[in-house]
Structure 1
Amino acid sequence: MNDEQLIRDLIERWAGAVHDGDLPTVLADHAPDIVMFDVPPPEQGVRGIEEYAETWPGFFEWQASGAVFEIESLEITAGTDVAFAIALLRCGDHTDFERHPDRRLRLTLGLTKTSGRWTVTHEHHSFTLLPSDQTPAD
């Protein structure tokens, strides 16, 4: 299996674990010193696997109420020992998709390969601002 396929499998496994609320599998392929910038605070992001793990229970609870988390598109660029991936995901509940059917969660992952194994070292989630989220300029 080539590096691109290994990374694709890792990301798809991670997304499935997020959807299932399976924290051990969500954490499995992440570096101990992971840095994540997420939609909710803190603005400075979270650093380290322990802080990263603490971000998931609330999301799992929300998702268990009927929300969706699924990869819609995924592009991977892999070098010898560094790679990145960009993806768009359907992330929301029925009401979110009724109001904004085309809105997608943007995901960027940075990965490194050590001793033949890919791990996520950086993760970034974002949404575009909706018109209702923007404040008029003074």
Structure 2
Amino acid sequence: MTTLLDLDREIDETEIGWLLSKRASAVKARDADYLVSRFAPGSTGFDLTPAPIAPGSTITDAADLRDWFDGFEDSIEYSVRDLAVVVGDDVAFAHSVDRFTATPVGGRRFQLWLRVTTGLRRSRGVWLITHEHRSVAAPPE
């Protein structure tokens, strides 16, 4: 029997999945403002990029992210794979294996697989990212 609590968790899991999928689309569109807007104030992250998510930094500056995007030619591809979400009352964690494909300015196109762990908090009914960690992963089989 499905309970109201089960339905609430399914809705939260779906909403978080949508948020992470929308963020992948925003990377492809180079939409720095949207990406930054999904972080809670004071959020931190550990990432492979120099900005805006340098190790232990606060994620607040869309200009840094736009500068990072400008380091790539033509299209950027980003996809989320094998997403798993665990939801509590007002906190959640998600992890996935993501694929990033891009061509650095003056360089050769490359593909990078990332293992991503995202911590979220619900604030005023909206899920916001409070912490994110990315590391290089082996390509999935």
TM range (shorter): 0.7 to 0.9
Bigger proportion of residues as strand: 2
Unaligned runs of 5+ in 1: 98-102, 130-138
CA offset digits 1:45-83 (Å, max 9, x no partner)? 312423xx3542244224443342111221111111110
The alignment covers a number of residue pairs equal to 122
Q: What does residue 65 of structure 1 align with? A: 74
* Residue 9 of structure 1: aligned partner: 18
Superposed CA deviations along residues 22-49 of structure 1, whole A, max 9, x for unmatched, are 1121122211111011114587431242
Report what 1:38 is aligned to: 47
User: 2 CA distance for matches of 1:20 and 1:48?
Assistant: 19
Provide the alpha-carbon RMSD of the alignment.
Answer: 2.4
**Structure with more of its chain in helix, by fraction:** 1
**Per-residue Cα deviation, 1:91-138 (whole angstroms, up to 9, x for no partner):** 1247434xxxxx511111100012221110001111148xxxxxxxxx
User: TM-score when scaled to structure 1?
Assistant: 0.74
Counterparts of residues 28-107 of structure 1 (less than 5 Å): 28-41=37-50, 44-50=55-61, 53-93=62-102, 95-97=109-111, 104-107=113-116
Query: 2: CA distance between counterparts of 1:23 and 1:112?
Result: 21
Give the match for residue 100 of structure 1.
Answer: none
TM-score after normalising by structure 2: 0.73
Tell me the distance in 2 between the aligned counterparts of 1:41 and 1:63.
14
Instruction: Tell me if structure 1 keeps the 8 A contact 2:47–2:55.
Output: no
**Structure 1 residue runs of 4+, over 4 Å off?**
none
- The alignment-based identity, stated in percent, is 30
